[in-house]
Structure 1
Amino acid sequence: MNRDEALNAMSSDVPAERLESARYLQFWAIPADIPQLRSFLQAESVGWISRSLKSALARLGDAPEQEIDLEDYLQDDGTQSQEVSALARARIARTVVHELEPIVGAIQYYASREVTDYSSSRTASQVNRMARLLRAIETLGRVSGTPRIQKFDLATLIAKLVEAEQVAAEIVMKVEGPGRLILSSDPDLIELVLGNALRNAAEAINEVLSHGSVAVVYGGTDRDFWVTISDNGKGLPTGSSERLFDVGTSTKEGHLGMGLALSIEATRTLGGKLRLSGTAQGARFEMNVPDGVI
């Protein structure tokens, strides 16, 4: 996409196309585009697109960042919207990573030289755990930000994830759904959520069974799409399904407890819902996400 194409696409009736164009103009618009950007902003009704246009104008010096009306970000009852909360979490995560990353790197460097047999030491284990947590926080910032909406084939994405997990876990996963399902969403966030769910299902089976099974069923309508992943593994601890979505909660020894928390945050960013439940034989993961720009 170039600047002229982005300006032309702002007249599209498809919100996803306008969002892509607005994000391009956010960084590449020039002062001569200001009148058109103002016109686009006045006519725009989608929040994400409006904010990208405001950011473009602010970068060009036409409207300072502080002039953006905060009322746009509030619900009718005056409480913060989920969108503002997500943006705040993303900003905090980026700040934490920026401050801690060099510190963790320095600890790894000096510990590897000062601790005898560092690679097999408990010090290395804990430092590596801290580094993984930092990467998880970085991912949290990513999934809490603005979704990168684009068209993709959910069937192809699921097939890729299933194939990779089958090889890694040495199990067979059954997949049921249309051979092609084109939708508009953020494929990276969807991949993060489904990849984590498939990995959890595979691990649950391998802990208790030599020949367990995982079933993946998916579909969609003109408004949304859904994916269900069921396994006959060890299931969930009694009363734990809601708590498992909290940061730091895990049923697996040595895990950070970030996977499900990141999944729920990613799905929330896309305007969707997750449900995790125990069944008579194993566990069931359900995801439902709107098709299109949130």
Structure 2
Amino acid sequence: MDLNKFLSELQSLSPEKQIEGLKALREAATPEQKQLLKHAAENTGNSWFKSALLEITNSGKHVSDIELSQPHGTGDVFDIEAVKSDAISDSIGQMLHELEPIIGSIRVFAEKDIVNFFQSKTCGELEKLNGVLETFESWRRVEQNQPSKEVNIYEEIVKEVDRISQKSQVGIHIDIPKDLVFVLPPSLLRIIISNALRNAVESSNQPTVREKQSIMITGNCNDKFMWFTIIDDGLGLQSKTEVLLKSRHTTKAGNRGLGLAIVDKAVRSMGGNWTLTNSKPYGAEFYFEIPVRE
């Protein structure tokens, strides 16, 4: 087997196919091939692929040869989800690295060339594009292994409320102890709050014949978990949560459907659970809980 050719072909495949090939390679690699893999790992620029190759060099099993199209072995050698997350994170990071300066340049030129730029449709479209980049950055973060630390929940919520309140046509009321502290990854908490709060604001901003009430944010902590909820008085859900999580289904028409999937990944990565249901008499209720760490 030409190992260099195999690795080159492998890196051109999708993450799922790469994982299958790496599993097969781990089962098939000879001691001599493992030495070559160690050298290949040191020269690859892909962090998750490097880690996977180094893991193979430390494995004990080997057979005489391997075919890329027919991977051998059925054991769960790798943490498949962890490897897939690394691959997705690397891919999104590369995409953002390429797109952000281009979009920044477009905005600079547009501000110079367009009269009343900030009132123009071009400005609005660029804001939407920045929103898409923020969504992908959130997606990249939830795919990474985020460190945990003590976080003041109230302070983090206030930051997100201050950031989005100018876009809300209704008030946002916070009812959470100011000294509520919990151990979790702060970046994941911000992603969850930001997505849930943005959904509540966008839903509450939709026109209705009735006067809508404030968005309510409340939560606390007990000896088992920290819980948190956002309740709005908007239009409510048009479908069940499991339907909304599927591709091209969102809580609102025109959205891209990634927000809920990112929230789901963030909450579950902390061992928590969440729900999104219609509230009474109107609106929707987002709820999540994160277990206390031992």
Shorter-chain TM-score: which interval? 0.5 to 0.7
TM-aligned CA distance change 1:129 to 1:201, over 3 Å: closer
Task: Give, as a single letter, the amino acid of the residue that structure 2 aligns with 1:283.
Answer: A
> Secondary structure in 1 aligned to 2:92?
helix
The correspondence of residues 70-81 of structure 1 with structure 2, limited to 5 A, is 80-81=79-80
Q: Give the CA deviation at 1:128.
A: 5.2
Q: Give the CA deviation at 1:109.
A: 6.7
Task: Give, as a single letter, the amino acid of the residue that structure 1 aligns with 2:269.
Answer: T
Task: Give, as a single letter, the amino acid of the residue that structure 2 aligns with 1:261.
Answer: A
Aligned equivalent of 1:21: none
Structure 2 residue 97 is the aligned partner of structure 1 residue 98: yes
Structure 1 alignment gaps of length 5 or more:
1-63
Distance 1:165 1:102 in 2: 25
- Asked if the contact 2:180–2:221 (Cα under 8 Å) also holds between the matched residues in 1, the reply is yes
> TM-score with structure 2 length normalisation?
0.60
Distance 1:125 1:156 in 2: 30
**Deviations 1:48-76, CA, capped at 9 Å, x for gaps:** xxxxxxxxxxxxxxxx85333698xxxx8
The correspondence of residues 267-286 of structure 1 with structure 2, limited to 5 A, is 267-281=267-281, 282-286=283-287
Q: Which moved more, 1:213-222 or 1:244-253?
A: 244-253
Distance 1:164 1:123 in 2: 23
Aligned residues: 226
Q: Give the CA deviation at 1:79.
A: 7.2
- Asked if the contact 1:147–1:269 (Cα under 8 Å) also holds between the matched residues in 2, the reply is no
Distance 1:251 1:243 in 2: 10
TM-aligned CA distance change 1:223 to 1:77, over 3 Å: farther
Q: Give the CA deviation at 1:157.
A: 2.5
Distance 1:172 1:103 in 2: 36
Structure 2 residue 125 is the aligned partner of structure 1 residue 138: no
Distance 2:110 2:159 in 1: 39
Aligned equivalent of 2:187: 188
Task: Give, as a single letter, the amino acid of the residue that structure 2 aligns with 1:91.
Answer: D
- Asked if the contact 2:226–2:289 (Cα under 8 Å) also holds between the matched residues in 1, the reply is yes
- Asked if the contact 1:183–1:292 (Cα under 8 Å) also holds between the matched residues in 2, the reply is no
Q: Give the CA deviation at 1:283.
A: 0.9
- Runs of 4+ with >6 A deviation: 109-124
> Secondary structure in 1 aligned to 2:213?
coil
> Secondary structure in 2 aligned to 1:229?
strand
Aligned equivalent of 2:216: 215
**Deviations 1:123-181, CA, capped at 9 Å, x for gaps:** 66556544542342233112211213111121333344446655652534444444422
**Deviations 1:28-62, CA, capped at 9 Å, x for gaps:** xxxxxxxxxxxxxxxxxxxxxxxxxxxxxxxxxxx
Structure 2 residue 252 is the aligned partner of structure 1 residue 265: no
> Secondary structure in 2 aligned to 1:242?
helix
Distance 1:242 1:184 in 2: 29
TM-aligned CA distance change 1:284 to 1:79, over 3 Å: farther
> TM-score with structure 1 length normalisation?
0.60
Task: Give, as a single letter, the amino acid of the residue that structure 2 aligns with 1:274.
Answer: W
Structure 2 residue 205 is the aligned partner of structure 1 residue 203: no
Q: CA RMSD in A?
A: 3.8
